[in-house]
């Protein structure tokens, strides 16, 4: 359980995090999504007690992170950005060190070490020094380090950066599995990652939360109105006049002409779908409709919309 209330962090004149509040419950995997420099890492550093917030409070596992930092840190596993590790240590030596600092009793240490080696797939690199490991393996050692004490809360800053596609799939399914009984926060700027692993999306831009909710809620909320792609034959003025006259159409843009077919993007008012109306419009006026489909709102659309502050219709959208 993570409860964050009104957290603000200022570095001199720069406000990195601006009045952020959210809650993540047990059994939830929350994905922080945002462009670089949005404040994701800063929020994570505050939650793990590395730096204090300028204002606001945060409670993790029932303890205040500022008053009871040590109790919080005992219950949190943290994978910092780029998985920083002691390069001159061996893999087992390093994990053993973390276990001893975390006060895992010696008789349990071996079991938890073995579990981590198994879960993170470290069998092949056990005897190596961390400096010899590839980025993917370092990332996995970082994950092992974060989970070795079986924490209630797991905070991971870009857990899959630098991994190859197979490793990414492995890590994602691991995160999903962990998410069932733990509270997980991860940050990423890969949208498909959120779609693949998270039950909850928190989109952050310039230090503020611009969207927070389940994947469905956020994708629905993002787009104001729906988008139809329309490929038609015939002269443009006639079509444009008709479209303007159709009830429910907020705006439309002409995109391109190809082989006598004009492509339009039609934005509707509210949440209305205009597929049928557009079809009837073409049929009634005897004009040729070559293609008509409604664009599916994806997280990607929402993300660019929310983090770029551009009006739909002025922006080139990928079909």
Partner 1 sequence: MSKILAIFKKEFKGYFNSLMAYFFIVVFLGVVNFLFIWFVLFPSKQASLREYFEFFIYGLWIFVPAITMRTWAEERKLKTDELLLTLPVRDYEAVLGKYFASLAFLCLVLALSALAPISVALVGSPDWGPIFAGYLGLFLLGASFAAIGTAASSMTENQFIAFLLTVVICVGLLTIEELCAMLPLPDFLVFLVTFLDIGHHFNSIGRGVIDSRDVIYYLSVIAFFLFLNVRAVERRKWA
Where does this chain bind partner 1 (CB under 8 A)? 11, 45, 48-52, 70-71, 73-74, 76, 78, 80-82, 84-89, 93, 97-98, 100-103, 145
Q: Kindly report the number of other CB atoms within 10 A of residue 319's CB atom.
A: 9
User: CB-wise, 51 or 273, nearer to partner 1?
Assistant: 51
User: CB-wise, 50 or 254, nearer to partner 1?
Assistant: 50
User: CB-wise, 76 or 306, nearer to partner 1?
Assistant: 76
Q: How far is the CB of 169 from partner 1 (least distance, A)?
A: 26
Q: How far is the CB of 150 from partner 1 (least distance, A)?
A: 14
Q: Which helix (DSSP H) or strand (DSSP E) does residue 191 occupy?
A: helix 191-197
Q: How far is the CB of 139 from partner 1 (least distance, A)?
A: 13
DSSP state of 87: T
Q: How far is the CB of 170 from partner 1 (least distance, A)?
A: 23
* Closest to 120 (Cα-Cα) out of 145, 103, 97, 96: 145
Contacts 24+ apart (CB under 8 A), 272-275: 272/225, 272/226, 272/248, 273/226, 273/228, 274/226, 274/228, 274/246, 274/248, 274/249, 275/228
User: CB-wise, 16 or 178, nearer to partner 1?
Assistant: 16
Q: How far is the CB of 78 from partner 1 (least distance, A)?
A: 5
| Locus of tokens 């934005």 | 267
Greatest CA separation found in the chain?
82
User: CB-wise, 48 or 305, nearer to partner 1?
Assistant: 48
DSSP E strand stretches across 173-288? 183-188, 200-205, 208-213, 227-233, 249-258, 261-268
Q: How far is the CB of 155 from partner 1 (least distance, A)?
A: 9
User: CB-wise, 59 or 226, nearer to partner 1?
Assistant: 59
């Amino acid at each position: 359980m993570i409860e964050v209330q009104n957290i603000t962090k200022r570095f001199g004149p720069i406000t990195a995090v601006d009045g952020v509040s959210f809650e993540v419950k047990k059994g939830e995997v929350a994905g922080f999504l945002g462009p670089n420099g949005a404040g994701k890492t800063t929020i994570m550093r505050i939650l793990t007690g590395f730096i204090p917030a300028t204002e606001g409070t945060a409670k993790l596992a029932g303890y205040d992170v500022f008053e009871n930092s040590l109790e919080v840190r005992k219950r949190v596993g943290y994978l910092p950005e780029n998985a920083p590790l002691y390069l001159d240590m061996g893999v087992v030596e390093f994990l053993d060190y973390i276990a001893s600092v975390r006060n895992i009793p010696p008789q349990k240490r071996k079991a938890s070490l073995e579990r981590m080696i198994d879960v993170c797939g470290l069998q092949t690199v056990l005897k190596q020094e961390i400096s010899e490991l590839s980025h993917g393996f370092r990332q996995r050692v970082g994950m092992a380090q974060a989970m070795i004490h079986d924490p209630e809360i797991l905070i991971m800053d870009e857990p899959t950066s630098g991994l190859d596609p197979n490793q990414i799939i492995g890590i994602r399914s691991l995160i999903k599995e962990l998410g069932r009984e733990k509270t997980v926060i991860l940050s990423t700027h890969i949208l498909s990652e959120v779609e693949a692993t998270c039950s909850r999306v928190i989109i952050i831009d310039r230090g503020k939360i611009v969207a927070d909710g389940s994947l469905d809620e956020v994708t629905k909320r993002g787009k104001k109105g729906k988008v139809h792609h329309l490929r038609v034959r015939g002269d443009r003025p006639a079509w444009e006049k008709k479209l303007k006259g159709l009830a429910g159409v907020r705006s439309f843009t002409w995109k391109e002409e190809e082989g006598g077919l004009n492509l339009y993007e039609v934005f509707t008012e509210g949440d209305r779908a205009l597929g049928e109306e557009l079809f009837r419009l073409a049929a009634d006026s005897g004009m040729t409709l070559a293609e008509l489909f409604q664009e599916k709102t994806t997280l990607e659309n929402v993300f660019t919309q929310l983090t770029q502050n551009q009006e739909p219709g002025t922006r080139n959208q990928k079909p």
